[in-house]
């Protein structure tokens, strides 16, 4: 998929939200505008800045899926639903919180989807909701044959292409950056659907998932070899214990098996590539299980048995607005206080929808990631 870039510079209003011009022509360009190279951090300038809470100032770059998407679809979704992130909006997700911890503000690299072509937005958040590791279509992407299928719904640019877009624009990474990487969750979901329809397809599904894990390890190693010295890698959380898993035919047992196969392959491949001891590996699988087991101790009143967002109300609103395929808005991307199941659901529930965490869970996970980064010897 070729990305569209808007010739006039994107502006930001006082709230930091992307404001898109309504005039001018779209141009097909091979890479990002040259002025975006100024986004790379300057060591001399950083040395004179006051230290952030993390004890070191870093520029944060993110590649992955909805768990790291900091607003690719927000310009379209927010005006209609009040959402824009895959959580209990307007809460922030963990990459934004980690970025703030190290003195940075993480914003989208591109914005678009749901009928809007992808536009360059100048940020360092390349992750997109629905993305797979290397394949299109991702989860939520329009079906083949749909007019303007590349941006009719979610754009789901794969993680491998996200990294390629970054390198095409900036050439390399550097020691003043913290690179956040995840992926594979959507590959798991796609292959789980095949296994659910026919349990005999489970071995083939596991093979496909393991291939995605090998590809993710490969792109992580690519990032390392391109100069990144601080790379945070998430394994896939235990989706089998999430509401998505509990709703499956075997209450998440098959999904848990597939997730473990992915995570084991990812870690083994990173080791074989000489990258495992050069990244900060975050065990989000065990963290989720730990929080579920002691959810009240973490301040939640509802664990994995219900979700914070009224998805039916979101679909009803989409129908009222006359949007195409209202069912596609039945996830946390379109969730806001007007569709919380209770006024404090963003703080009392663990899950916003069947997979994505609430704002409170994101804050707890961000703290966990920050602790792991500090334990690696970076910052405090």
Each residue's pLDDT tens digit, 338-378:
999 999 999 999 999 999 999 999 999 999 999 999 999 99
Note whether residue 35 is domain-resident.
no
- Examine residue 271 and state whether it is found in any structural domain, yes or no: yes
Give the pLDDT confidence score for residue 105 in this predicted structure.
98
320-334 mean pLDDT: 96
Q: How far is the C-alpha of 250 from the C-alpha of 97, rounded, in Å?
A: 35
Q: What is the pTM of this model?
A: 0.88
What pLDDT is stored for residue 41 in this prediction?
56
Task: Please enumerate in sequence order all residues whose Cβ is within 8 A of that of 356, keeping only pairs 6 or more positions apart, or say none.
Answer: 66, 67, 86, 87, 331, 332
Q: What is the CATH number of the domain that holds 326?
A: 3.40.50.1110
Q: How many domains in the chain?
A: 1
Average pLDDT along the chain: 89
pLDDT digits (tens, 9 = 90+) for 31-83: 334 334 345 554 444 456 689 999 999 999 999 999 999 999 999 999 999 99
In this prediction, residue 10 carries a pLDDT of 30
Arithmetic mean of pLDDT, 174-179: 98
pLDDT reading at 178 higher than 70? yes
Q: What is the pLDDT of residues 111-135, one digit of tens each?
A: 999 999 999 999 999 999 999 999 9
Is residue 253 domain-resident? yes
Q: Is residue 293 part of a domain?
A: yes
- Reduce the secondary structure of the chain to three states and give it as a string: CCCEEECCCCEECCCCCEECCCCCCEEECCCCCHHHHHHCCCHHHHHCCCCCCCCCCCEEEEECCCCCCCCCCHHHHHHHHCCCCCCCCCCCCHHHHHHHHCCCCCCECEEEECCEEEEECCCCECCCCCCCCCCCCCCCECCCCCCCHHHHCECCCCHHHHHHHHHHHHCCCCCCEEEEECCCHHHHHHHHHHHHHCHHHHHHHHHHHHHHHHHHHHHHHHHHHCCCCCEEEECCCCHHHCHHHHCCCCCCHHHHHHHHHHHHHHHHHHHHCCCHHHCEEECHHHHHHHHHHCHHHHCCCECCCCCCECHHHHHHHHHHCCCCCHHHHCCHHHCCHHHECCCCHHHHECECCCCCECHHHHHHHHHHHHHHHHHCCCCC
pLDDT given for residue 17 in this prediction: 32
Range of the domain at 316: 57-375
**What pLDDT sits at residue 52?**
97
The residues near 4 (Cβ < 8 Å, ≥ 6 apart) are: 26, 27, 28, 112, 117, 118, 119
Q: How far apart are CA 355 and CA 373, in angstroms?
A: 25
d(CA 56, CA 379): 5
pLDDT value, residue 1: 46
| Residue 246 falls inside a structural domain | yes
pLDDT, tens digit, 9 for 90 and up, residues 274-319: 999 999 999 999 999 999 999 999 999 999 999 999 999 999 999 9
Distance CA 155, CA 206 (A): 25
User: Does residue 287 contact residue 237 with C-beta atoms inside 8 Å?
Assistant: yes
Q: Tell me whether residue 307 is in a domain.
A: yes
In a domain, 46, yes or no: no
Tell whether 52 is covered by a domain: no
Burial string for 158-193 (b: 16+ CB within 10 Å, else e) reads bbbbbbbbbbebbeebeebbbbbbbbbbbbbbbbbe
């Amino acid at each position: 998929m070729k990305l569209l870039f808007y010739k006039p510079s994107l502006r930001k209003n006082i709230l930091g939200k992307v404001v898109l011009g309504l005039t001018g022509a779209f141009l097909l360009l091979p890479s990002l505008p040259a002025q975006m190279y100024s986004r790379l951090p300057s060591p001399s300038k950083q040395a004179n800045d006051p230290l952030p809470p993390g004890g070191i100032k870093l520029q944060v770059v993110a590649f992955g899926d909805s768990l790291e998407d900091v607003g690719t679809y927000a310009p379209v979704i927010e005006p209609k639903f009040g959402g824009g992130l895959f959580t209990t909006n307007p809460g922030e997700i963990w990459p934004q919180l980690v970025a703030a911890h190290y003195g940075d503000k993480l914003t989208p690299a591109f914005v678009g989807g749901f009928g809007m072509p992808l536009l360059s937005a100048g940020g360092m958040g390349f992750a997109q909701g629905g993305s797979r590791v290397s394949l299109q279509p991702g989860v939520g992407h329009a079906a083949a044959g749909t007019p303007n299928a590349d941006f009719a719904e979610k754009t789901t640019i794969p993680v491998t292409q996200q990294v390629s877009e970054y390198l095409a624009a900036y050439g390399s990474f550097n020691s003043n950056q913290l690179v956040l990487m995840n992926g594979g969750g959507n590959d798991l979901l796609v292959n789980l659907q095949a296994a659910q329809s026919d349990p005999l397809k489970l071995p083939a599904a596991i093979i496909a998932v393991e291939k995605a894990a090998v590809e993710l390890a490969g792109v992580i190693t690519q990032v390392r070899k391109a100069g990144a010295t601080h790379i945070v890698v998430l394994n896939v959380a235990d989706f089998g214990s999430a509401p998505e898993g509990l709703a499956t035919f075997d209450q998440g047992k098959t999904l848990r098996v597939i997730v473990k196969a992915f995570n084991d392959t990812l870690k083994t491949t990173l080791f074989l590539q000489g990258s495992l001891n050069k990244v900060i590996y975050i065990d989000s699988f065990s963290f989720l299980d730990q929080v579920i087991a002691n959810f009240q101790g973490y301040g939640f009143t509802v664990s994995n048995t219900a979700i914070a967002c009224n998805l039916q109300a979101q679909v009803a609103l989409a129908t009222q607005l006359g949007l195409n395929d209202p069912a596609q808005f039945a996830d946390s991307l379109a969730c806001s206080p007007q569709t919380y199941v209770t006024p404090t659901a963003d703080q009392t529930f663990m899950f916003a929808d069947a997979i994505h965490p609430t704002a409170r869970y994101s804050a707890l996970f961000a703290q966990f990631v920050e602790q792991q980064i500090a334990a690696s010897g970076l910052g405090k």
